[in-house]
Structure formats: C-alpha cells, structure tokens
Structure 1
Amino acid sequence: MNDLSGQVAVITGSTSGIGLALARAVAARGGDVVLNGLGDPSEIERTRAGIEAACGVRVRYHAADMRRGEEVADLVAFAKHELGRLDVLVNNAGVQHVEAIEKFPSEKWDQIIAVNLSSAFYAIRAAVPIMKAQGRGRIVNVASAHGLRASPFKSAYVAAKHGVIGLTKTVALETARDGITCNAICPGFVETPIVERQIADQARTHGISKDRVVEEVILAKQPTKRFVTSDELTGLFLYLVSDLGASATGGSFSIDGGWTAQ
C-alpha cells in the first residue's frame, strides 16, 4: 500500500490544499506526479522542484485551465507523453461561490460546474483508454460531504458535487472488468485555501466574525467540531489507489467527522 514506485499520477488542483497533500504523498512513496493548478509561476516551480528533489521522483507541471475540456485532455496526454504511463488520476480541482439562489451569478454557476464537474468528465474520458491498455488504473474523484448532503447558498457547488458522485458510479460500472477502479472521497471541511475564502464569504454574508463562522457555520455540522486533516485524507487515498483497494469501486467514502451520519 505504501509503494507507488514506477507509477504516474495526475492530480488536478494540486498546487495547494488537498491536491498538493496528495501529490506529496504519491511522490513520497516513489510515484511520479504531474501537478496542475493556479498560483504564482515562480512559487509553483519552487514547489515542483522541491518535491522532485526531496523524493527523487519526476515531477512535472501542466497549466491546464479546468474550464476548458481540450486543455484537460491535453493534461492527461502530457502525462503519458512525458512520463510514459498513467496509473492514478485524481480529479480534485474545485472552486466555490456562496450566494442565495436568486442572486447567484450565472457566470459563477457556469464556472463551478465546469471546474468541479465537467473537468472530471474530460480527464476521465482521456485517461480510461490509457488505463485500459495498461490493464490497471485508479481514478479518485475528490467530491465532498456536499456530494451527499445539501447546504443553503451553495447551489452550484452542491449540484456539481452530486454530479461527481453520479459520474463516479457510472465510470466504475463501465470499467469494472478492466482493472480500473473509480471512487469518490467525500471530505467534510478541511482547512484549505478554498475553505478560508468560504469563511470570509460567510462572515460577509452573515455579518459576523470569522471565528464565529468557523464555530457556528463551518463546523456546525461536523460532530467532531474540528477540521478534517490532509493526513487523514491521504490515508484513505493510499488505500484506494493500492492493490488492497482493488474491489473498492463506485464508492463514496465519507471522511467528515460524522457529518453525513446525521
């Protein structure tokens, strides 16, 4: 479970947050990685070079815009061309906007559906033929507790994450006899840049302090009353991409401090 030597992983949205934690986990276990995401180019290069040097693996970066299907497909093709294969695909890229439905900007709806849902479709569509030819592949879609439960003021995000769950199930059924698994991880709130922005948005919307947002809004639904950690997500992820996880496919794995148990 802890040896990914010789494997290649593409992880979208991996220049920060959950995606970067998963990329570091792959590299630390000997796997090569293609990073993708937004940020300052010099900082991204420092991150890429730092992982490569620390772990002794090949790390590449591709700046695909997750709103554009052709660029997402090119990201997958780039991994195969540069690193020779594709073993693990992680669809993690995500954006958020918090607003009442009657005020929700149409451009934000389009952006969130494109980045959070459609990009996963385009990446999977490009990756499956490569994985079928290899006789093995692991697809992990980072969904959310919001793929299983709804919250107010998050119409696009909830719709997209529910869509990711449906996409996961369909791909799992289609690839069940090809040595490929497709699963969704459904985290509760993890302390990441997207959540930090959400805290600020909620503070503005409700007219309260950020500390109160964390206690009364963000973590109100998590019985543990603490953020899920990146290390906890990494443990589940490593199981799903290992040989031990070969029979786990089409699943939506909650790691949310008890949120969806309610």
Structure 2
Amino acid sequence: MDTPDKVALVTGAGRGIGAAIAAELAARGHRIAVCDVDRAAANDTAAAIADEHGVKTAAVVADIADGEAVRAAVTEVEAGLGPVDVLVNNAAIDVLGRFVDSTERDWDRIIGVNLRGTITVTRAVLDGMIGRERGRIIHIASDAGRVGSSGEVVYSATKGGIIAFGKALAREVARHGITVNSVCPGPTDTALLGQVAEYSRRMYEATVRAIPLRRVAQPTDIAGVVGFLASDAAAYLTGQSISVSGGLTML
C-alpha cells in the first residue's frame, strides 16, 4: 500500500506526458504541484486534476533554466502543499534539424532547460528530502539519450547527461532513503513527435514500423511507469534507466 498524501512536483506538467504523470500521481492520492512555463496550461491542468481526483493541487510557473525562478517555485509549492516527496523532472525542449545547421543559441537553450534545468530543480528539493530521510526523484529522459536520434543531436546529449546524472546522484543519496531513476520514453504521441513527423515523414514512419508493439506510446503509458517508481513498491529500485518504447530499444 502506498504512503498516502505525498506531495509531487511535476515540471512541464501543463500538457502531454507531464499532465498525464500529474494525473496518474493524483489518482494515487498525491497532492500535485503542476509546474510549467505556460501559466494558463498550468492553471488548467491543476484545476482539471483537482476536479477529477479530489486532491489538493497548485499551479506554479517557472522557466527551469532560471535558477531563481525554480527556487521561488519550490518555496511556493512547499508553502501551499507541503514539502516535496516526489519530484518528476519532465520539462524539456528540442530544436529539430541537422546538427551542422544548429546554432550555439539552440545548444544553450536546449542544455539550459533539459540538463541544467533538471539539475537545478533537483538541487532545489534535495536538502529537504535529505533532512526527512526519504524521497523519490524521477527524471524523464529519452531513448534518444541511450541510443541517439538523428535530427536531435544536442537533445540526445542532454538526455544522456540526465541518465548519467541520475545514476551518480542515486549513489550519493541512497543512504538517505532517496531513490533516483530515469524513465526513457520512445516515440510518444505528443507535440514533439508531431514535430518529428513534420521534419521527416519518412523517418517518422520508419520508426513506427520498427516498434515491435506496432504503435507509438500514449502519455499514459509513460505515466504508469512513473507512478510505479513513485510508489512504495519501488523502494528498492534506484539508479536505473527504464526504456518505455514498445520494444524499439532493448538494452
């Protein structure tokens, strides 16, 4: 049986995978902090989750590339809902295209949000988790960080960095009762996958054909795995990167 009434902070939760994760954790009885750079999306998602699941929610706005904004958001969450027990680092961006056509501005933004942002949010909640001797940290990485993805070179690098960050951090904080794991989605029905299809329809169709389960993932497929990792049933699982790709990658 899961410990009831935990507080879960989910970044990039205004839509897509993040919104599905927030709803899954709410269904498990968690109070939910919906964090997103889009204020309207965060408000709408938080309200919908509160209505459907009857849990307390909060909508907070932060660009996770901005350390000051992150720390302010965490302070707001803790004041409104309580200390963060579960952190899901889901927020990410991508700029599709050949690496040789990318710019330093592209690199800085992708790295700033995906990798540095994940590190920044994690650092903002970690002292409290260590003090309470418990916590769940779950990174939404990507199979692109495990095997690479054409047209997403810097994105792949950041997701590989998140996986390595999670493994190293898991070793440091295990003695405090904190687990750290990464979930690595394959092709998932989100706006980002739509961008991939626009970038190269041939690449998109070839990828879908290669999935053994013969479909792309839905956001709820990812959310279910996150719900398990946040639960008491996953208390002995840490430092892992779990592919949720319909068998597209098997490492």
So what's the TM-score if we normalise by structure 2? 0.93
Distance in 2, matches of 1:175 and 1:140, equals 13
**Helix, strand or coil: the match of 1:35?**
strand
Q: Is contact 1:4–1:26 with CA below 8 Å preserved after alignment?
A: no
C-alpha RMSD over aligned residues: 1.8
- What pairs up with 1:4-23 in 2 under 5 angstroms? 5-23=4-22
Q: 1:33 to 1:192 in 2, by over 3 A?
A: same
- Specify the SS of the correspondent of 1:110: helix
Mean CA deviation greater in 44-53 or 85-94: 44-53
Q: 1:39 to 1:74 in 2, by over 3 A?
A: closer
Aligned residues: 251
Q: Secondary structure at the match of 2:136?
A: strand
Distance 1:38 1:44 in 2: 8
1:31 aligns with 2:39: no
Q: Residue 194 of structure 1: CA displacement?
A: 1.7
Q: Aligned equivalents of 2:92 and 2:42: distance in 1?
A: 18
Q: What amino acid does structure 1 have at the position aligned with 2:124? A: A
Contact 2:14 2:42 in 1 (8 A): yes
Structure 1 unmatched ranges of 5 or more? 204-211
Q: Is 2:213 the partner of 1:231?
A: no
Pair 221,165 (structure 1): closer, same or farther in 2 beyond 3 Å:
farther
Q: For residues 150 and 222 of structure 2, what CA distance do their matches in structure 1 show?
A: 25
What is the CA-CA distance between 1:214 and the residue it aligns to?
3.3
Residue 122 of structure 1 aligns with which residue?
120
**Partners of 2:170 and 2:71 in 1: how far apart?**
20
The amino acid of 2:120's aligned partner reads: Y
SS of equivalent residue, structure 1 residue 62: strand
Question: How far does the alpha carbon of each residue in 1:125-144 deviate from its partner, in whole angstroms, 9 at most, with x for none?
Answer: 11111111222100000001
Counterpart for residue 164 of structure 1: 162
3-state SS of the aligned residue for 1:36? strand
Quote how far apart the aligned CAs of 1:221 are: 4.4
Describe how 1:128-207 pairs up with structure 2 within 5 A: 128-203=126-201
CA deviation map 1:162-188 (0-9, x unaligned): 000110011100101101000000111
Q: TM-score, normalised on structure 1?
A: 0.89
Q: 1:40 to 1:78 in 2, by over 3 A?
A: closer
Aligned mate of 1:215, from 177, 189, 205: 205
Residue in 2 that maps onto 1:207: none
CA distance in structure 2 between the aligned counterparts of 1:22 and 1:11, rounded to whole angstroms = 8
- Residue 45 of structure 1 aligns with which residue? 43
1:107-118 matches, cutoff 5 A? 107-118=105-116
What is the alpha-carbon distance in structure 2 between the residues aligned to residue 221 and residue 48 of structure 1?
A: 36
